[in-house]
Structure 1
Amino acid sequence: MTDCCSTPGLMTLHEGLEKLMTETPIVTETETVALTDCLDRVLADRIISPVNVPSHDNSAMDGYAVRFSDLAQHSVLPLAGKSLAGHPYQGTLPAGHCIRIMTGASIPEGADTVIMQEQTETTGQGIAFTKLPSRAGSHVRYAGEDIPEGCQVFEQGHVFKTQDIGLLASLGIPSVPVIRKIKVALFSTGDELKLPGEALGLGDIYDSNRFAVSAMLKRLGAEVIDLGKLQDNRDEIREAFLKADQQSDVVITSGGVSVGEADFVKDILNEIGHTSFWKLAIKPGKPFAFGRLPNSVFFGLPGNPVSATVTFQQLAAPALRRMMGAKPAPVTELSATCLTPLKKQPGRLEFQRGILSTNEKGEAEVVTTGSQGSGILRSMSMANCFIVLPTLQGNLDAGETVKVQMFDKVLG
């Protein structure tokens, strides 16, 4: 028995991605934002460190700063002073003496080694050392050891992560140039759609796709223009397209790209723009449309919630990252033993939802989230990965090795 949705000649996921990457424009307008506002933004120009990090030689331990050469001549060194973070010792370390020093404090001039306090004893004559270092420089952090002045810290296209904010602050950088946020207009179509909180009538469903896609867009750092849900009315949908095209860089719809009598989106797209492709050899997500409007690009996501989520993550998200000028996001893939049998008809590349874990031997194992229907959104909520099954793959028995693709930032 063949899969009724496995139509020969459908465009592959790889071919679809290539067209997306070729036909989506890159936003070049920039703006400068404060350090506190650059999280998830795309860097518009490289960043060169204006300072050394650390800015001065300093101690990695609480202990005593000494001249290494003095240790060969003296078993006890008198204390000449102290150096605290923010309150360095003034002057040069006298020969044959030591300085009390705390973590992060400047190494006094003349000192070249720090001995941790656990390896010392205090005597009436000064500080005795119970264990001596084998070389000069022990427990000293040198100026520029982490980042030297003039070093490139971030390249153009870098997307700032939480840990990058502290690094920028350590360089004394108060603001950064970033690509402006891309504007994405989003709406859903369907007479059956209701908002959460509204009562459901016979045949109605809640509009989950628009909320899920909006959340994923925000994870990408896009500015979302939510145009709400539309009825299956050609004039209303056409007007929404024209309005969205004027306001945004990207227009995304959910539903209306299938083959039903009330699926107007694809027809309207061809009236005011053009369709680059429609339908891909993937499951879930076959009815995915991509095209151009006069001022924007268009992504038509399927109406089924899992299909909409999968196609956004696999197709729309990489294209949106490119439009934002961001470097491609790495894809984490690995092999795992599948502990559950898998049902699959040959014909389409398939993304089944899975839960990856590690057994007591440290080996990767994966199980499915259960039923893999494209309307079962709980299968996405439970999962932490996709089990990626090749186009020609059929059913698999439990215990076979499968390729697993971990959820990325968009879904994580």
Structure 2
Amino acid sequence: MAQLSDDCFAFGGPMMSVDDAVAIIAARVTAVQETETVSLGDADGRILASGISAPLPLPPFTNSAVDGYAVRGDDVPRGEERAFPVTGRVQAGASAVGAIEPGHAARVFTGAPLPDGADTVFMQEDVRRDGPGRVILPAGLRPGANVRPAGEDVPIGTPALAAGQRLRPQDVALAAAFGLTQLDVRRRIRVAVFSTGNELVSPGNPRAAAQLFDSNRFMLMAMLKRLGCDVSDLGIVSDDRVALADGLKKVAGAHDLILTTGGVSTGEEDHVKASVESVGALVLWRMAIKPGRPVAMGIIDGTPFIGLPGNPVASFVTFVHVVRPTVLALAGAALQPLVPMPLRAAFSYRKKLGRREYIRVNLRKGQTGELEAVKFPREGAGLLSSLVDTDGLVELGEAIERVEPGQTVGFLAYASLI
């Protein structure tokens, strides 16, 4: 398990900015060192443990990019078309036999290797047949056209996949193109998740009139699994300081991260702060973010602890900006900053300076065809429908005080956040 000192996240300043929080996480969380070998079919989403350099060039041989006729570059007609005798026929997967003779053309197909000496291919749509075994090639083609040289994509020995890379389907495809069947990856991060609060009951259990079905826990577990974590569902812990402290202590040694939702505010029945302090050390992050200011982070027996707000939208937003970078750092992944896409606002909004805010929006095409962000009509952090019925978040930085229609804003699609 990852082991951190009790003051690892200590921060004595005023309300912490989002950038400061991410910087502290990136600098102070130590990645797990254990690795495992997985097949290509199981590699998507995993964190590559060691870099891979190209063991062969891609493509491994010079080949035709089209169906057509291959010739020597010196024979390309200049000024007017010219007839060529056709000698040889090479299909994809077959070896070219012999070198092409000067003044001759060879019939080739997409992906087929070129005969020795050939370096230019005429597309079959651009030529005319001139009786059996002859073809008329037009003038003006650039020598070297329609050919994929060996190593054009990736030269041999080139660094191709970096250690710490979170593998995507296209990365897996590149490894397969190198002929690899297995990859060394970091082991999955083990995360314990539970909700807090007497007002919650798990779906499937009887619900009292004053209770809610727990939704945050399932949302957070789904997000963690998309990040490649092994997740332990610890259910719901009641609003009892001793029970919460005992639960935290029990799971710390067997997990790399403990994640809770609810109970991190300053009310009389918000017991997370006191419970964590009784079994470890906690710095209560008053992050300058809306929704989601009450976020707690600490250390319990060397294991990082994060407590998220109980409102679902606040829990979602703070997961993206606190839990996501923590998980990636623990997994040994290179932290990639979220890059908002610029588009036009179709709403007015006022906010406080010095605080980063996230607005739930839908995308639509404006009258001129440009994409516009349309604000969800309601703002409550407890509205699950506002996450379900929108396309993503508009990020408003600390220096922004108001937004007017037509102003350029930064958009983060939900798909880019996990």
TM-score with structure 1 length normalisation? 0.90
Partner secondary structure for residue 247 of structure 1: coil
Contact 2:130 2:136 in 1 (8 A): no
Is 351-360 or 42-51 further displaced after alignment?
351-360
The residue number in structure 2 matching 1:5 is none
CA contact (8 A) 1:122 1:128 kept: yes
Alignment-derived partner of residue 379 in structure 2: 372
How high is the sequence identity, in percent, across the aligned residues? 36
| Deviation, structure 1 residue 201 | 1.6
Alpha carbons of 1:372 and 1:121: their partners in 2 closer, same or farther (altered >3 Å)? same
Q: 1:381 to 1:87 in 2, by over 3 A?
A: same
Give the Cα separation in 2 of the matches to 1:360 and 1:129.
Answer: 51
Change (3 A) 1:274 1:144: same
Q: Distance in 2 between matches of 1:151 and 1:53?
A: 10
User: d(CA) in 2 for partners of 1:391 and 1:144?
Assistant: 47
In structure 1, what is the Cα distance between the partners aligned to 2:301 and 2:141?
71
1:362-409 Cα distance to aligned partner (Å, 9 max, x none): 54422211211111111122223323345576565x526253241354
Query: 1:288 aligns to what SS in structure 2?
Result: strand
State the match for 2:32 in structure 1. Answer: 27
Q: Which deviations, in whole Å up to 9, do the C-alpha atoms of 1:271-303 show, x marking residues without a partner? A: 111012332232211110000111310000011
- Where does residue 413 of structure 2 map in the other structure? 407
2:313 to 306, 309, 312: 306
Over residues 188-216 of structure 1, what are the superposed CA-to-partner deviations in whole Å (9 max), with x where a residue is unaligned?
Answer: 11111122233432111111111111111
Residues 400 and 126 from structure 1, CA distance in 2 versus in 1: closer, same or farther, beyond 3 angstroms?
closer
Q: Aligned pair 1:54/2:25, yes or no?
A: no
Three-state SS of the structure 1 residue aligned to 2:56 is: coil
2:217 is equivalent to residue 226 of structure 1: no
Q: Secondary structure at the match of 1:317?
A: helix
- Pick aligned residue for 2:19 from 14, 19, 22: 14
* 1:329 corresponding residue in structure 2: 336
CA–CA distance in structure 1, aligned partners of residues 290 and 139 of structure 2 = 66
> Cα–Cα, structure 1 residues 408 and 214, in superposed 2: closer, same or farther, change >3 Å?
same
Q: Secondary structure at the match of 2:144?
A: coil
Q: Offset of 1:18 from its aligned partner? A: 3.2
Residue of structure 2 equivalent to 1:103: 110
Structure 2 contact 63–114 (Cα < 8 Å) conserved? yes
Q: SS in structure 1 opposite 2:58?
A: coil
Q: Which residue of 2 aligns with 1:264?
A: 271
Residues 121, 363 of structure 1: alpha-carbon distance in 2 compared, 3 angstrom cutoff: closer
Q: CA RMSD in A?
A: 2.4
Post-superposition offset of 1:9? 4.2
The AA in structure 2 aligned to 1:403 is V
Counterpart among 199, 203, 210 of residue 217 in structure 2: 210
Gaps of 5+ in 2: 1-12
- For residue 113 of structure 1, report the CA deviation from its aligned partner: 1.8
Change (3 A) 1:402 1:86: closer
Any stretches of 5+ residues in structure 1 without a counterpart?
A: 1-7
Q: Does structure 1 residue 41 correspond to structure 2 residue 55?
A: no
Asked whether the equivalents of residues 83 and 105 of structure 1 are also in contact (C-alpha less than 8 Å), the reply is yes
Match of 2:298 in 1: 291
Bigger shift: residues 177-186 or 326-335: 326-335
Provide TM-score, normalisation by structure 2: 0.89
Q: Partners in 2 of 1:12 and 1:239 — Cα distance?
A: 32
Give the paired residue count: 404
Alpha-carbon distance in structure 1 between the residues aligned to 2:82 and 2:62: 25
Aligned to 2:4: none
Measure how far apart 1:308 and its partner are: 0.8
Tell me if 1:142 matches 2:140: no
